Amino acid sequence: MDPTPAALQVFFTGLKNLWYQAYSMGEVWYNKVSTMVPSETELETYGWMDRLPAMRQWVGPRQNNSVLTQPRIVTNVDWEQTTSIPRNKFLDDKLNLFGPISQEMGRQAKKLHDYQLASLLESNPVGFDGVTFFSTAHPTDTSGSIVSTTQSNDLQTLALNASAYAQARAAMRNFQGRDGKPFGVLPSLMIVPPALEESALQLRNAEFFAPQTFGNSATNVGATTNIWKNAFEILVVPELTRPKVWYLFDARGFVKPLLVQNRQAPMFVSLVNPNDPNVFWQKEYTWGADSRSAYDVTIWFLAARFGIAL
């Protein structure tokens, strides 16, 4: 095929269409666990609060709750994917392979948020209260002005079974603010790696547990009713690398435990002009995509980590 400007435009327009088609059809899970925030500049500042004041009967003057916020700056990062076609492949009409490549690149671009959030979960960064997001020592009062009690959302010895789920659920529902009132957390989503999918499905779907199943003692006789049937949703995340670690999220509200800050969605780009350096010097037509985004944790009490061998 003669690489005329018209022929190149037709071919790379086709690759672009394939890329965007695969991108639009890509299956993702990040929207189930994260708040998506549009970004208008290189960084954004957030003020996460250690509790939200409840309504009270208005007797006497108003009471100022002095809600405490901790500022947090999230800076956007550049992302890219790039590949190329040797000019001789174009001249020899050996182009059938590059359509599927462009489709796979579009699918991988759509998965960017998934990959980064899975990595964020397992890296366990420091949160707004000064300790790691999953920690045994979250301060009840984040101002640092008093010596406060601590709470844990990192129960590292709870393998996935019915009794452990009950303990994990109770721990999250008991999370309290600095005023001593509960946050009202309700674990709605269980996140597991593929290795724990069967256990999660059994716990969520089974009508009964047989004796000695899910931690029942040897003294039990007969089946035990599964009181946790349909009590939560399950999200299996293939990108998680720790096979015995599982998570519970309260993902019901407007603010979810994780944050996706989107400055620029992935967009298709190419360099195919004969005067482009890659064409002139390397005899290659180059295309790919780029984007700008950032990822962070939000409010610690909306999530908890469990499992063994962390």
Residues paired with residue 224 on neighbouring β-strands, in sequence order:
209
Which residues lie below 8 Å from residue 87, measured CB to CB, with a gap of 6+?
Answer: 3, 279, 283, 284, 285
User: Can you give the pLDDT at residue 61?
Assistant: 84
What the chain holds in terms of domains, given with CATH numbers, is 5-48+73-307 (3.90.1690)
User: Can you give the pLDDT at residue 67?
Assistant: 57
Mean pLDDT to the nearest integer, 19-37: 96
Phi, psi of 151 (to 5 degrees): -135, 155
User: Can you give the pLDDT at residue 193?
Assistant: 97
Which residue in the block uniquely carries the two structure tokens 């709750």?
65
Q: Tens digits of per-residue pLDDT, 115-167?
A: 999 999 999 999 988 899 999 999 887 766 666 789 999 998 889 999 999 99
pLDDT grade, residue 206 (50/70/90)? Answer: very high
- Token pair of 135, please? 């920690």
Which residues lie below 8 Å from residue 234, measured CB to CB, with a gap of 6+?
Answer: 189, 190, 192, 197, 200, 201, 204
pTM: 0.89
Determine the Cα–Cα distance for residues 148 and 25; give it in Å rounded to an integer. 49
Dihedral sign for Cα 186, 55, 253, 117, please: negative
Determine the Cα–Cα distance for residues 116 and 292; give it in Å rounded to an integer. 13
- How many residues in the chain? 310
